[in-house]
């Protein structure tokens, strides 16, 4: 989104992260247009003219530093096939950006700077290091030109922070608390342990002992190794329609950022440009220098038990319903090509949708009891999904429900939440729905109806999509009937 990129770069923040991962629905159009927008932003030529007002958006004199987050190692790019297989999406995003912009960035006094998501171990960090070295060699750039901050957003990675920094030592810019995905990873890692069932998602904040241990350990690790420790994302968005509610939201952001800077973080993130001023005010007041790497936290001793401690709280019907509402609405938007969705005054992305559906799965799997004593069952989840869909229908109207993909989103959510095993990622099974039939764009309502026709039930094809793509171009196609018809027409 060109306008969003321009506004973010002009927001007054020190840096802006362009996201091809959790905030992006990876239709082929989004992937390629995003790369075009970044190419123009790097060269300072990005423009956007609003159709309704005619207003022209351009970069200001001091834009924020540009960082890019490619997709994780677990994702594929179906539209770019190498040796008969979809290319790793992470390499597509990184490769296109580095190839088109790395040299131009260096010439402008900046550099190719990245945020690396979803890492679970130092071997994955070492793989990125190999990629960086190969890319720099191909582009004629010195080793170390590329810099990367690793998001510590999986529970296994929290146990390997030193090793991850060591693996990327030639390119490391630090670590970042990816707290939303971290909660999802906690659920996924302990999924089969009935003693570690989480309370309502809203109750799992950064003041929970396990979350506080994780963030403080990250600070201690980074500062011991001489790199930056970045705080987490504030997902709140300004609420212009309700000043009282907006004041409470800003108070929560203020408390969160104050905790981060007082703990020792060297910077932080916000989801909306409207929060940049507040976050900067707090960090400038309590961290007058560029960083606080000299705060080593020598007395801090975080143990494995601290990281694995179970968050305390209650499980409620409203918490269950909220998970359903958020996940279904987010999925519906994602299937329509939108990966960053404002819902209930928070900017939701794939990470929060992952928490929502994984938590519902965990509650069903272990028959967790709500505060009123009822166990969470697959039948209850299906009942509440139907009720929430009906409520959405009333709120949004017939036209929006008809043109949307709510039935598909609800079906996908229910299938994953009530499955026997926890699917590793929501976006993997959802991805096929934005790459089917239309070359990477979401299916039309007509195509969805045809694709889901019951007459296709039981039809099994003895070949897969990858086989078709591999054989494409190897089959000789003869247009004999068309050729004969054309010749006869010409002869007449």
Enumerate the active-site residues. Answer: 69, 349
Q: How many helices (H) and strands (E) does the chain have?
A: 20, 13
CA distance 451 to 80: 24
Distance separating alpha carbons of residues 364 and 192, to the nearest angstrom = 11
The answer to whether the CB of 73 falls within 8 A of the CB of 118 is yes
Give, in order, the Cα–Cα distances in Å from 228 to each of 125, 148, 321. 17, 11, 38
Query: Residue 168, CB half-sphere, CA atoms under 13 Å: how many?
Result: 33
d(CA 86, CA 469): 10
Residue-wise DSSP of 346-383: EEE-HHHHHHHHHHHHHHHHTTPBPTTSPBP-HHHHHH
Beta carbons within 8 Å of 467's beta carbon, 6+ residues apart: none
> Can you tell me the distance from the alpha carbon of 101 to that of 42, in angstroms, rounded to the nearest whole number?
7
Half-sphere exposure for 69 (CA within 13 Å, toward CB): 22
The neighbouring-strand residues paired with 369 are 375
Q: Cβ of 36: how many Cβ atoms within 10 Å? A: 13
Of 86, 139, 135, the residue nearest 114 (C-alpha): 135
The SS3 call for residue 201 is helix
Length of the chain, in residues: 492
Chain centroid offset of residue 334 CA? 11
R_g over Cα of the chain: 24
Give the DSSP letter of residue 432.
Answer: G
The residue written with tokens 């570690």 in the block is: 196
**DSSP-assigned beta bridge partners for residue 163:** none
Exposed/middle/buried for residue 313 (C-beta within 10 Å: 0-12, 13-18, 19+)? middle
Q: How far apart, in whole angstroms, are the C-alpha atoms of residue 365 and residue 381?
A: 12
Q: How far apart, in whole angstroms, are the C-alpha atoms of residue 383 and residue 377?
A: 10
**Cα–Cα distances in angstroms (integers) from residue 370 to residues 20, 199, 200, 407, 414, in the given order:** 37, 9, 10, 27, 19
User: Torsion angle, CA of 428/184/387/319, rounded to 10 degrees?
Assistant: -170
Q: Token digits for 138? A: 């191909």
């Amino acid at each position: 989104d060109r306008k969003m990129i321009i506004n973010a770069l002009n927001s007054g923040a020190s840096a802006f992260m362009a996201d091809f991962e959790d905030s992006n629905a990876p239709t082929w159009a989004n992937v390629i247009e995003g790369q075009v927008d970044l190419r123009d932003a790097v060269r300072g030529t990005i423009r956007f003219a609003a159709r309704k007002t005619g207003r022209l958006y351009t970069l200001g004199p001091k834009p924020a530093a540009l960082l890019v987050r490619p997709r994780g190692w677990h994702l594929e790019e179906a539209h770019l096939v190498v040796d008969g297989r979809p290319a790793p999406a992470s390499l597509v995003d990184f490769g296109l950006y580095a190839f088109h912009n790395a040299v131009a960035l260096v010439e402008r006094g900046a550099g190719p700077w990245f945020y690396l998501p979803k890492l679970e171990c130092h071997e994955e960090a070492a793989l990125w290091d190999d990629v960086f070295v190969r890319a720099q060699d191909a582009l004629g750039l010195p080793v170390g030109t590329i810099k990367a901050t690793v998001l510590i957003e999986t529970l296994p990675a929290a146990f390997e922070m030193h090793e991850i920094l060591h693996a990327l030592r030639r390119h490391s810019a630090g670590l970042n608390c990816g707290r939303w995905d971290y909660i999802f990873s906690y659920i996924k890692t302990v999924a089969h342990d009935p003693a570690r069932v989480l309370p309502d998602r809203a109750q799992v904040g950064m003041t929970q002992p396990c979350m506080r241990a994780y963030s403080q350990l990250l600070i201690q690790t980074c500062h011991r190794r001489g790199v930056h420790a970045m705080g987490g994302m504030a997902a709140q968005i300004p609420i212009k329609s309700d000043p009282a509610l907006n004041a409470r939201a800003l108070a929560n952001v203020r408390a969160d950022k104050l905790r981060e800077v007082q703990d020792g973080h060297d910077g932080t993130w916000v989801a909306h440009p409207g929060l940049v001023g507040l976050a900067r005010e707090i960090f400038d007041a309590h961290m007058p220098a560029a960083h606080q790497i000299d705060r080593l936290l020598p007395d801090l001793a975080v143990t494995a038990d601290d990281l694995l401690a179970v968050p305390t709280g209650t499980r409620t019907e409203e918490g269950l319903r909220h998970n359903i509402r958020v996940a279904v609405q987010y999925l519906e938007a994602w299937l329509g090509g939108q990966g960053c969705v404002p819902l209930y005054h928070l900017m939701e992305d794939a990470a929060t949708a992952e928490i929502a559906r994984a938590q519902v799965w965990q509650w069903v799997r272990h028959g967790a009891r709500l505060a009123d004593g009822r166990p969470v069952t697959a039948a209850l989840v299906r009942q509440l999904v139907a009720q929430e869909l009906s409520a959405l229908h009333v709120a949004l109207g017939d036209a929006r429900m008809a043109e949307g993909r709510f039935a598909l989103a609800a079906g996908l959510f229910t299938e994953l939440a009530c499955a026997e095993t926890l699917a590793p990622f929501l976006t993997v099974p959802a991805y096929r729905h934005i790459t089917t039939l239309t070359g990477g764009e979401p299916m039309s309502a007509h195509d969805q109806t045809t694709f889901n026709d019951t007459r296709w039930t039981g039809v099994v094809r003895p070949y897969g999509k990858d086989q078709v793509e591999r054989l494409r171009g190897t089959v000789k196609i003869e247009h004999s009937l068309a050729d004969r018809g054309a010749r006869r027409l010409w002869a007449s």
